[in-house]
Amino acid sequence: MITQPSDPSTQHSTLSPQSSTLNPQHSTLNPQHSALSTQPSAPSPQSSTLSPQPSDLSPQSSVLRPHSLLITGGAGFIGSNFVHYWIKKYQEDRVVILDALTYAGNPANLEPVANHPQYRFVHGDIRDYDLVVNLLQEEKIDTIVHFAAESHVDRSIHGPDAFVDTNIIGTHTLLKAAKKVWLDRSSEKSESSLIAQSSVLSPPSSLCRFHHVSTDEVYGSLGLDDPAFSETTAYAPNSPYAASKAGSDYLVRSYFKTYGLPMTISNCSNNYGPYQFPEKLIPLLILNCLAGKSLPIYGDGLNIRDWLHVDDHCRGIDLVLKKGTVGQTYNIGGNCEKTNMEVVEAICRLMDELSPNKDSVPYSSLITYVKDRLGHDRRYAIDANLITSELGYAPAESFETGLRKTVEWYLANQDWCQNVMVGNYREWIEKNYED
């Protein structure tokens, strides 16, 4: 039986003054930091209680009650929805957000929760090893929920480098930092007294969790009659984005198998909902309707995605953190396959109802077929039987209810929309659609 960590508020109040402020310089990426890490040592006794034989690791059950979370990418779409979800549901938990505020990160996404007493935002890069180690120690982090990524397939086709840097190097930097703070601390004698002192207060590794948020795109593309992706489907990533996520998944797995780092992975289907950056299909279509611009559909519009409201994704991750098996991957999906044409038609119908065109011309008249995405995966579908049977997961929103709420959110948040449709966004639209 795993014991609960002590009250986090007590833990936080014991923080030394030195560790209570984070040097803002840390937010500047310093690639040298990752080279400073010491050679990995053998799994500590703590990790060996989790995993007696690293070479013989099998998934193990645990019930984890997170108390101090590091949420990477928390200013992005899913990350910010997860922060809202968590703060509302677990008011006493510490929620520390680490986000580099790339074009996709937006502090406005976090405004509704920014005054919560347990909230802290750190502007920094997941590739900054020293920053991450300091944060894990200073905040006594027991749970990392890793959303930070370059996430747009089309951008990965135009410029793959950032995807390798953030998704692979960045994930590896987080893993190294988690290993150092959670697993290596008792075996390293050469640490400074500050770090050693701080480490004493860190939670035991058996209560820690590295949860990696991944995607169904690692499994490649399905034919119309193929069975849906399960956790045992072989990886076959087709875009640089999908390949970089697959690489990060493998690294997370390897840190469990080799070192006993307590981790879980979730591979989820297409999300939609509030705060999604309008480079992605659903918000792009809503905002193009409002602007009277064409609704660009790649290829024949018959590519299929499995759509899931972002709140349901957050609930799935919550279940994995609370009840999931350490070392396990869980697929999360909406059981909601739609062709892109079905999606655009549904949005046009909702827009005709909720924000009719002033000339009463149906929005569907704006649908325009454009050149296809390179290597465009034909179909994704998720078999969510494992998370359903083991953890009792089921999506709460149907596509109809979720899409209606989403359209209503974009209509009610025009300021948010106008603020993100500037600079980088305009350049991107020009590059992707007007080439």
The residues that are catalytic are: 216-217, 241
- Name residues whose C-beta falls within 8 Å of residue 283's C-beta, 6 or more positions apart in sequence: 272, 276, 277, 406, 410
Member of 44, 102, 134, 288 binding ligand NAD (CB under 6 A): 102
Task: Tokens 């019930």: give the residue.
Answer: 63
Any contact of residue 251 with ligand DAU (CB under 6 A)?
Answer: no
Any contact of residue 306 with ligand NAD (CB under 6 A)?
Answer: no
CA distance linking residue 235 with residue 175, whole number of Å:
21
Any contact of residue 81 with ligand DAU (CB under 6 A)?
Answer: no
Member of 263, 268, 336, 387 binding ligand NAD (CB under 6 A): 268
User: 245 and 180 in contact (C-beta within 8 Å)?
Assistant: no
Neighbours of 225 (CB within 10 A): 6
Contacted entry of ligand DAU, ligand NAD, none for residue 305, CB cut-off 5 to 8 Å set by kind? ligand DAU
Q: Taking the complex as a whole, how short is the minimal distance between the CB of residue 361 and ligand NAD, in angstroms?
A: 31
Contacted entry of ligand DAU, ligand NAD, none for residue 296, CB cut-off 5 to 8 Å set by kind? ligand DAU
Which residues in 353-412 contact ligand DAU (CB under 6 A)?
Answer: 373, 380
CA distance linking residue 66 with residue 4, whole number of Å:
9
Which residues in 270-299 contact ligand NAD (CB under 6 A)?
Answer: 270-271, 277
Member of 130, 138, 142, 217 binding ligand DAU (CB under 6 A): 217
- Name residues whose C-beta falls within 8 Å of residue 193's C-beta, 6 or more positions apart in sequence: none
- Name residues whose C-beta falls within 8 Å of residue 26's C-beta, 6 or more positions apart in sequence: 124, 128, 130, 131, 134
User: 330 and 324 in contact (C-beta within 8 Å)?
Assistant: yes
CA distance linking residue 338 with residue 400, whole number of Å:
12
The Cα-based distances of 201 to 15, 195, 314, 348, 403 in angstroms read 9, 10, 29, 55, 45
Q: Which is nearer to ligand NAD, 100 or 407 (CB)?
A: 100
Member of 280, 313, 338, 379 binding ligand DAU (CB under 6 A): 280
295 SS3 class: strand
Any contact of residue 296 with ligand DAU (CB under 6 A)?
Answer: yes
Any contact of residue 126 with ligand NAD (CB under 6 A)?
Answer: yes
Q: Which is nearer to ligand NAD, 369 or 416 (CB)?
A: 416
Structure tokens at 406: 């989403």
Count H helices and E strands in the chain, helices first: 17, 14
Binding mask 136-155 toward ligand NAD (x if CB under 6 A, else -) reads -----------xxx-x----
Binding site for ligand NAD (CB under 6 A): 72-73, 75-79, 98-102, 104-105, 125-127, 147-149, 151, 166, 170, 213, 215, 245, 268, 270-271, 277
Residues forming the site for ligand DAU (CB under 6 A)? 151-153, 215-217, 269-270, 280-281, 284, 296-298, 303, 305, 340, 373, 380
